Amino acid sequence: MLSLALLALLPVSTAHFVLTWPTNRGFDDAKSTNFPCGGFDSVKTPRTDFPLTGGPIQLDMHHTQTNIEVLLSIGSDPGSNYNLVLRRTFAQEGLGDFCAGEVSIPAGLNITSGTLATIQVVSNGDPDGGLYQCADVTLVDTPLSTADYNSHCKNGTGVKVTSENIQGNPNETTTETTPSASSSGTGTGTGTASSSTSTPGLAVHATAASWLFGAVGVAGLALL
């Protein structure tokens, strides 16, 4: 019970982020909880050319732990219909630059070069709900040059992905998925990760560790 109470404190230190590439519509901390695009409801031009075959999603992470999902909506002004999942919910740790790898547009959709679309990045909220940012793109056949890729895909020190394929959207999850969270049934992965050998002792240890990260996050906030 105590550990559950401690976990409940975690979201306070999670989840703010800025989508830095592709270029976001805008970021306003006060409105970032507004679905679908953090308060920026109008398409922004010029759009960013985004490779159909795969492009990086570059984020700037402001908190120590965040659940993230990348979605896509096809069309010139898609409203709130982000019905295509480019990357399922995953958990990330670490501050600053985070390149969420490459996402590519599912080939089966037969999307042609020049198609207009909007990418939405969703994270878990603060303390609940979600945080949203969008980038308006033109999907193109041309891959990024090595130089462009390198300038749009950077990781800060210690930034890492801690868990993949978490069920549900991040705006419906409030805590980082640690081994203890998985064993209590929240945010369980669908795949092999949750079947790893997680002993009660390990779970307690992980809970204590994630609380510590949370405390560090709060301390970090106080310094800003």
Ligand X SMILES: *[C@@H]1O[C@H](CO)[C@@H](O)[C@H](O)[C@H]1NC(C)=O
The answer to whether 211 contacts ligand X (rule: CB under 6 A) is: no
Query: Which one of 3-11, 38-46, 108-116, 186-194 is the stretch in contact with ligand X (CB under 6 A)?
Result: 108-116
Of the candidate residues 57, 153, 181, 206, the single one contacting ligand X (CB under 6 A): 153
Tell me, letter by letter, the H, E, C secondary structure of 91-147. Answer: EEECCEEEEEEEECCCHHHCCCCCEEEEEEEEEECCCCCEEEEEEEEEEECCCCCHH
Residues 45-74 that bind ligand X (CB under 6 A): 71
Residue 187 phi/psi, 5° resolution?
Answer: 60, 35
The answer to whether 130 contacts ligand X (rule: CB under 6 A) is: yes
Query: Which one of 13-21, 104-112, 180-188, 191-199 is the stretch in contact with ligand X (CB under 6 A)?
Result: 104-112
Give the Cα separation of 185 and 189 in Å (integer): 9
The answer to whether 199 contacts ligand X (rule: CB under 6 A) is: no
Window 12-51: contact mask with ligand X (x via CB under 6 A)? -----------------------xx---------------
The answer to whether 99 contacts ligand X (rule: CB under 6 A) is: yes
The answer to whether 122 contacts ligand X (rule: CB under 6 A) is: yes
The residues binding ligand X (CB under 6 A) are 35-36, 71, 82, 99, 101, 108-110, 120, 122, 130, 153, 155, 160-161, 169, 171
